[in-house]
Copies of this chain bind each other. A is one copy, B any other.
Amino acid sequence: MHNRPVPRVSQDQLDARRKEILTGARTCFARHGYEGATVRRLEEEIGLSRGAIFHHFRDKDSLFLAVAEDDAATMVATVAEHGLVQVMRDLLARAATEDVAGWLGSQLEVSRRLRTDPEFAKRWAARSEAVAEATRERLQRQREAGVLRADVPIAILAQFLELAYDGLVLHLATGRPVQDLEAVLNLVEAAVRKS
């Protein structure tokens, strides 16, 4: 391969523009859900024309997937540092103070896609596995630190936490009351720890 000079500024500009689009799209999907986030609303929220937006992303679907993948990457980072229970606590706090209906709707949209769209399911599996792996790694560190229960394999504890996370998403997405959920999450956390 030739060692051609990289067009650095241009790439930086492209990256910045891409990030700008993702930020606006995230807000738009969160506010209106997948269906409600029309191209017109995406244009308004992002502040760019559809031509500019779809120069960077093939279509609304690709844009949605990019936002979802971005969110999954953020989740992996939070899980690695603070654990899946903390992700649940953060989600609960957000649900109590801001309108997360759209965001949750997007999560259910991901779930629907996983059922009905094998291509999407394949692309998504890697993201899903990254969250699972981060969860297992953090549990492993906790086990080494002696705070985890020792009688259940890490893989089972990780899946237990993921089950609780899925349950929380579905609970919040269906608009049910949140008042007791903090105590429920304490119980979830206690169930994986040394008693």
Contact = CB atoms under 8 A, between A and B. Distances in A.
Number of copies: 2
Contacts of A152: 183, 187
Say whether chain A's binding surface is mostly helix, strand, loop, or mixed: helix
A80 interface: no
A86 to B, nearest CB: 17
B163 A184 contact: yes
Contacts of A175: 114-115, 121
A183 B164 contact: no
Across the A-B interface, give the 8 residue pairs with the lowest CB-CB distance, nearest first. A167-B167, A163-B167, A166-B167, A191-B191, A166-B170, A114-B174, A156-B183, A170-B170
B166 A181 contact: no
Contacts of A183: 152-153, 156
A195 B187 CA distance: 14
Nearest to A128: B176
Given A166-B170, A167-B166, A175-B121, A187 B115 contact: no
Nearest to A187: B160
